[in-house]
Amino acid sequence: MELLSEWLRLLQSTQILREIVLVLLIVAVAAGLARYLRRRHAADVSPLKGESARRLAFPLCAIVLLTLCSFVTHRFAWSGQVLRIAIELAIAMVGVRVLVFALRQIFAPSGALASFERSLASLIWFGVALNILGILPEFIDWLDSFSLHVGKGHVTVWQILQGLVTVFVTVILAMWLSGLADARLQAASSLDSSLRVVFSRLIKAVLLFVAVLLGMSLVGLDITTLSVFGGALGVGLGLGMQKIASNYVSGFIILLDRSIRIGNLIQVGSDQRGEVLQITTRYTVLRGGNGAHFIVPNEQLVSSVVQNENFSSSGLRMAIHLTVAHGSDLEQALRIAEEVAQAQPSVMAEPLARAFLSEVTDAGFRLELGVWVADPRSGMLETRSNILRTVLARFGAAGIELAQSQKLLAIAPSQTTPH
C-alpha cells in the first residue's frame, strides 16, 4: 500500500506529468522513425537484415531517444524516473524480440511459437513491473531462501531457475548463430558439399558446447565438475557405445576424405544401391531407383567395399549385348547400333558410343554396344529400352535377323573412366 500511495503521489506531481508527456512524444517519434526504416528495408530479402530491422526498429529507436532525453533532463535536475522506466520497458521489448527472432530462424513458424512469444513477453513485462514496484528483489530473496543439498554443497531455487534461463538463452543464441553459419556455408558454391557439411556440423557442436559452458559459468557453477561427466562418458563409449562412436568417427572420415559425396550413385552390398541424398555424422541416406530410402550406418561405408559409379565422372558406361544370326551384314548391324545410340539425348557425345564384335558363337555374332549415360541418377532402364526398340526396328527394316538363342542381358556398369 505504501508503494501504491507513493506512485499515486508521484503521478500528482507536475514534473512527473511532464516526463509522461515527454515519453509519449518520444514514443511517437520512435514509431515514425521505425516506420521509415521498415519501408526502407521492405525490399530486403535477407532474413537477417530485413526481418531484424523491422522487428527491432521501434524499441531500438525508443532506447536511443529516451537515453538522449534522459541525459538532457538530468542537466535540468529532473528526476527522470519515468524515463528510466520507459528505457527498462524498451530493453525488455528488445530482449523478447531478439529471442523470438532467433527461435523463428531455428524452428518453423507455427501457432505454438506465436503463443510462446506472447507468454514470454507477458513474463518479461511482469518481471519489469515487479522491478518497477520494488517487489522483484523481495521475490528473488524469497526464492533464494529455499535450498536443496547436492552432495556437500547446496543450491537454491533461484539459482536453478537462473541457470535454466541462462543456459536456454545461450543455447538458443548458439543454434541461431550455427544456422546463420550453415546458410553461409551452403551458399558457398566454391566449397565442396562434403566440406560444407563437415564445417556446419563442427560449428554447431562447438557453439552448443561453448553455450552450455558459458551458461554454467554465468550462473556460477564450477566447470571442472564436468570432468566427472567426461570420464563417465568415456567409460560408456568404451564399454557399450563402440558402434555409435565408430559410426560418428566414420561419418567425419567420409565427409573429410570425400570418397562419397552427395549425389553419387553408390552400391553397398548386393541390394543397397541408390543416390546419396544426405550424409550425417552417424548414417548416410540412399534413395533407390524404386523410391525406397536406405539408411546405411557410416561404419559400413568405411569398412566394406562400396561401388561408387560416378566417383570421378558423372557419366556411367552401359553395355548392351545383341546376337545376330550368321549370314547377317555384320558391318551394317554395327553401324545401325552406333547410329541409334548416338541419337539418344541421354547418351553422352564424348566418349562416343561404339559397337564391337565381342564373340563368334554357334548361334551367331555377339555384339556389344557401349554407351555412356550422362545422368545415371535419372534412370538407365529408359535409355536401354529406347535403344533396343529402335535397334530392333532398324534391324527388321534392314533384313538383319537376331539369333534364335538371343538373350538380352542386363545393364553391366563398367568402372572404366572416359578418355
Question: Which of 344, 330, 333 has its CA nearest to residue 375?
Answer: 344
> Is 80 exceeded by the pLDDT of residue 55?
no
> Is 70 exceeded by the pLDDT of residue 230?
no
pLDDT band at residue 48, thresholds of 50, 70 and 90?
very low
Percent of the chain residues past pLDDT 70, beyond the cut:
72
> Is 50 exceeded by the pLDDT of residue 414?
no
| Better-scored residue on pLDDT, 220 or 22 | 22
Mean per-residue pLDDT, 157-184: 79
Question: Which of 16, 26, 15 has its CA nearest to residue 7?
Answer: 16
pLDDT band at residue 415, thresholds of 50, 70 and 90?
very low
> Is 70 exceeded by the pLDDT of residue 43?
no
**pLDDT-wise least confident of 71-75, 266-270, 340-344:** 71-75
Q: What is the pLDDT of residues 128-160, one digit of tens each?
A: 777 766 777 777 788 777 777 655 666 777 777
* Contact by Cβ (8 Å): 295, 287: no
* Contact by Cβ (8 Å): 275, 314: no
> Is 50 exceeded by the pLDDT of residue 416?
no
DSSP 355-417: EEEEEE-SSEEEEEEEEEES-GGG-SHHHHHHHHHHHHHHHHHHTPPBPTT---PPP--B-PP
* Helices within 240-371 (DSSP H only): 242-257, 298-303, 330-342
Q: Which domains does the chain have, with CATH numbers?
A: 14-134 (no CATH), 147-221 (no CATH), 261-308 (2.30.30.60), 316-398 (3.30.70.100)
Distance of CA 379 to the CA centre of its chain: 28
Mean per-residue pLDDT, 95-117: 69
| Better-scored residue on pLDDT, 398 or 105 | 398
pLDDT at 295: 87
Question: Which of 150, 170, 246 has its CA nearest to residue 210?
Answer: 170
Radius of gyration of the chain (CA): 35
pLDDT band at residue 263, thresholds of 50, 70 and 90?
confident
> Is 50 exceeded by the pLDDT of residue 166?
yes
pLDDT at 384: 87
Distance CA 26, CA 175 (A): 35
pLDDT band at residue 408, thresholds of 50, 70 and 90?
very low
> Is 70 exceeded by the pLDDT of residue 72?
yes
Mean per-residue pLDDT, 232-248: 66
b (16+ CB within 10 A) / e for 86-116 = bbbbbbbbbebbbbbbbbbbeeeeeeeeeee
Predicted TM-score (pTM) of this structure: 0.47
